[in-house]
Chain A
Amino acid sequence: MTTYFAEVLAIEGAALAQVRDRAGMTCWRRRVVRELLRPETSYAFALRGAIDGDAGREFLVAWRELLAAAVDRVLRSGDSQEAGSVAAQGQAGGADAERLAVLILAALHGGGTLSRVAEDPAPLDAALDIALAPLMAGSRGDEAGPPAYDQAVT
């Protein structure tokens, strides 16, 4: 299992470092959704195995930190309309990025599980729509639209 954790973190470290604006986040989302909907990918194994043990916990914390850094860059880029309203509410950008990162990771985990159960990408897509909404204000999270399940998993 630790191999899967290391593999996902290596890919995510490189991919999320490239995310600096909404377009980058949309590209990241499209790729991760594809990975999660295939049952035999490192992503699917890693998320399923993350519930038990210290290694799983450390994996989730590390992924969440990578996500928070990317979310923080998008919020600071001024590319997100919500960034203005978040600042207007007097909340610190860093704190919001961390909370949003928790929701994004939950959406990947819970949405991915429900999509596998339903054999339908809609739950993962709907969960990510909610999680990424503060970054994507004014546009749909995945402009290309969700893939059909059989397209997504093959």
Chain B
Amino acid sequence: MTDSHSGRRLTARGAKTRARIVAAAAELMYVKGVAATTIDDVLAASGSSKSQLYHHFDSKEALVRAVVDHVGQNTLDRERESLGHVSTLRGLRRWRDALVQSNALRHGAYGCALGTLASEVSDHDDLARRALSQLFSEWQGLLADVLRRLQDDGVLKPDVSVDQLATGLIGALQGGYMLAQAERDVAPMATSVDMALAHIESLSTSR
């Protein structure tokens, strides 16, 4: 692994310190928001010194970009795991149930970690915006693959645009997370995804 700041190859110890700083920053930014998280907060939470942090990141902006990558890869790993083998409408419902259940544990309070970053940083940092755009495209691609498998198996009508449907489903999911966050209640998220999935089910060949 190389340091994005200096371009040098990291030692095992350096990589561990960097990972600890990014994980602490990601957690703080998820709970408090990006703007409200200070470098001092990250130092305290990660147990790192200022010189260690600035050795890896020359600014808060650089740290935020590393957080975007970290949260994005975690989100995509989770979604690959849960969507990778889904090939039925029931499987898609189970995917929805897992996301809603997980968000219900916190009463929807913190939303989707990637969506929260998107709301906060995309207007201020073009590099972070591009990275987020790429990550959401990959997530949408995983959902499109599920819908394509449904279409190939004759479950979804052949004239359905799976890419457009996947894009809309991600939008409904993200909006649901945001409404749940605002209301401190997972119900609007559950309703949003339910209604979006009901639309997808209405496009099945059995309807």
Contacts and interface: CB of A to CB of B under 8 A. Distances in A.
Contacts of B173: 110
Given A117-B129, A130-B196, A106 B168 contact: no
Contact of A106 (B129, B132, B165, B192): B192
Q: Tell me the interface secondary structure of chain B in the complex.
A: helix
Contacts of B137: 118
Contacts of A60: 179, 182-183
Interface string B131-145: 011001100000000
Given A39-B123, A110-B115, A124-B171, A134 B199 contact: yes
Nearest to A132: B199
Given A39-B123, A113-B119, A118-B136, A127 B172 contact: yes
A62 to B, nearest CB: 12
Contact of A130 (B169, B181, B182, B189): B169
A94 to B, nearest CB: 15
Contacts of A123: 167-168, 170-171
Interface in B134-191: 136-137, 164-165, 167-179, 181-184, 188-189, 191
A108 to B, nearest CB: 7
A61 B183 CA distance: 9
Name the interface size band of chain B.
35 or more
A10 interface: no
A103 B172 contact: yes
Interface string A66-105: 0000000000000000000000000000000001101101
A107 B182 contact: no
B133 A118 contact: yes
Interface in A111-137: 111, 113-114, 116-119, 122-124, 126-131, 133-134
B119 A111 contact: no
B100 to A, nearest CB: 13
B111 A131 contact: no
Which of the listed residues A56, A61, A113, A134 has the most CB atoms from chain B within 10 Å of its own CB? A113
A127 B168 contact: yes
B127 interface: no
B111 A102 contact: no
Interface in A29-55: 39, 48, 50-52
B181 to A, nearest CB: 5
Contacts of A20: none
B172 A131 contact: yes
Nearest to B189: A106
A39 B179 CA distance: 20
Given A60-B183, A102-B179, A107-B175, A126 B119 contact: no
B195 interface: yes
Interface of A: 39, 48, 50-52, 56-57, 60-61, 99-100, 102-103, 105-111, 113-114, 116-119, 122-124, 126-131, 133-134
27 contacts: A50-B178, A50-B182, A51-B111, A52-B182, A60-B182, A100-B195, A102-B195, A103-B192, A106-B171, A106-B176, A107-B171, A110-B170, A110-B173, A110-B175, A113-B118, A113-B175, A113-B178, A114-B136, A116-B123, A119-B129, A122-B164, A123-B170, A126-B164, A126-B167, A127-B168, A129-B164, A130-B165
